[in-house]
Structure 1
Amino acid sequence: FAPLGDRGTRAVAISAILTLSAINYIGVRAGSTVQTAFTAAKLLAIGAILVAVAVMVPGHHPAALSSAATQPSIREFLLGISAGLFTFGGWHMVTYAAGETRDPEKTIPRALLIGMLIVTVCYLALNAAYLRVLPLETVLKSTRVAADAARVVVGQSGGAIVSALVIVSAFGGLSGSVLAGPRVYYAAARDGLVYYAAARDGLAFRAMGAEHPLFHTPHIAILAQALWASVLVVTGTYRTLFTRVIYTEFLFFGLAALGLLRMRRRLRPAPLLFLPACALVVINQIYADPKESSIGLLLVAAGLPVYYFLKKPNKIANY
Structure 2
Amino acid sequence: MSITPKLTRFDLTMIVISLVIGMGIFAAPAEVAKSSSNPYLYFGAWLLGGAVSLCGALTFAEIGARYPTTGGFYKVFSFCFHPAFAFMINWVLVISNAASVAAVALIGAEYINPVIMPQSLQNDVGVKIMTISSVLILYIINYLGIKMSARTQNVLTLFKIGMILIICAAVFKGNIVRADKVIEYHNNNGISAFGLSLVAVFFTYGGYQQTINFGGDIINAKTNIPKAIFFGIATVIALYMLINFAYYSVLGINGLQQKTTLAATLAGVLFGAAGYKIVSLLMFVSVLAFVNVNIMANPRVYYAMAEDGILPAKFKHVNRQTQVQEFGLSFFVAAVLIILLFAGSFQKILSYVMFFDTIGLSTAAVSIFILRRKTKHLNDTGIYSMKWYPLIPIIFITTYWFVTISIFIENPRAALICILAFIAGLIIYFITKRSQKTFTTP
Partner of 1:152: 269
Partner of 1:274: 396
Which of 205, 211, 214 is equivalent to 1:94? 211
CA distance in 1, matches of 2:321, 2:244: 46
Q: Would the aligned equivalents of 1:27 and 1:215 in 2 still touch at CA under 8 Å? A: yes
Q: Give 1:214 shift.
A: 5.5
Once the two structures are superposed, residues 237-262 of structure 1 have per-residue CA deviations (whole angstroms, 9 ceiling, x without a partner) of 57523222211122111221333333
Q: Give 1:171 shift.
A: 1.4
Which of 98, 115, 140 is equivalent to 2:232? 115
1:263–1:117 distance in 2 versus 1, CA, 3 Å: closer
Partner of 2:154: 36
Once the two structures are superposed, residues 207-261 of structure 1 have per-residue CA deviations (whole angstroms, 9 ceiling, x without a partner) of x212235533112211221222334442555752322221112211122133333
Partner of 1:165: 282
Residues 1:225 and 2:340 are matched in the alignment:
no
CA distance in 1, matches of 2:201, 2:346: 15
Which of 156, 169, 176 is equivalent to 1:61? 176
Partner of 1:179: 296
Letter in 1 for 2:423: A
Moved more, 265-274 or 147-156: 265-274
CA distance in 2, matches of 1:141, 1:152: 17
Letter in 2 for 1:280: F
Q: Would the aligned equivalents of 2:362 and 2:396 in 1 still touch at CA under 8 Å? A: yes
CA distance in 2, matches of 1:148, 1:26: 38
Letter in 2 for 1:184: V
3-state SS in 1 of match to 2:184: coil
- Structure with larger RCO (C-alpha < 8 A, sep 6+): 2
3-state SS in 2 of match to 1:99: coil
1:227–1:282 distance in 2 versus 1, CA, 3 Å: farther
Which of 352, 356, 369 is equivalent to 1:261? 369
1:225–1:297 distance in 2 versus 1, CA, 3 Å: farther
CA distance in 2, matches of 1:292, 1:228: 23
Residues 1:188 and 2:296 are matched in the alignment:
no
Residues 1:139 and 2:256 are matched in the alignment:
yes
Moved more, 209-218 or 166-175: 209-218
Q: Give 1:182 shift.
A: 1.0
CA distance in 1, matches of 2:262, 2:249: 12
What does 1:3-82 align with in structure 2 at a 5 Å threshold?
8-51=126-169, 53-54=171-172, 57-58=173-174, 61=176, 63=178, 68=182, 70=184, 72-73=186-187, 74-82=191-199
Residues 1:303 and 2:430 are matched in the alignment:
no
Partner of 1:202: none
Partner of 2:356: 248
Q: Would the aligned equivalents of 2:156 and 2:289 in 1 still touch at CA under 8 Å? A: yes
Q: Give 1:193 shift.
A: 4.9
1:136–1:258 distance in 2 versus 1, CA, 3 Å: closer
Which of 315, 323, 332 is equivalent to 1:216? 323
Which of 83, 88, 106 is equivalent to 2:200? 83
Letter in 1 for 2:134: A
Q: Would the aligned equivalents of 2:355 and 2:418 in 1 still touch at CA under 8 Å? A: yes
Once the two structures are superposed, residues 257-314 of structure 1 have per-residue CA deviations (whole angstroms, 9 ceiling, x without a partner) of 3333334248555443332222222222233333444333333332212222333564
Q: Would the aligned equivalents of 1:243 and 1:289 in 2 still touch at CA under 8 Å? A: no
Q: Among the aligned pairs, what percent are the same residue?
A: 25
1:137–1:269 distance in 2 versus 1, CA, 3 Å: closer
CA distance in 2, matches of 1:184, 1:172: 19
Unaligned runs of 5+ in 2: 1-112, 115-120, 377-388
Q: Give the superposed CA RMSD.
A: 3.0
Once the two structures are superposed, residues 13-67 of structure 1 have per-residue CA deviations (whole angstroms, 9 ceiling, x without a partner) of 444333322321221112112111100111222232334543xx14x83857x97
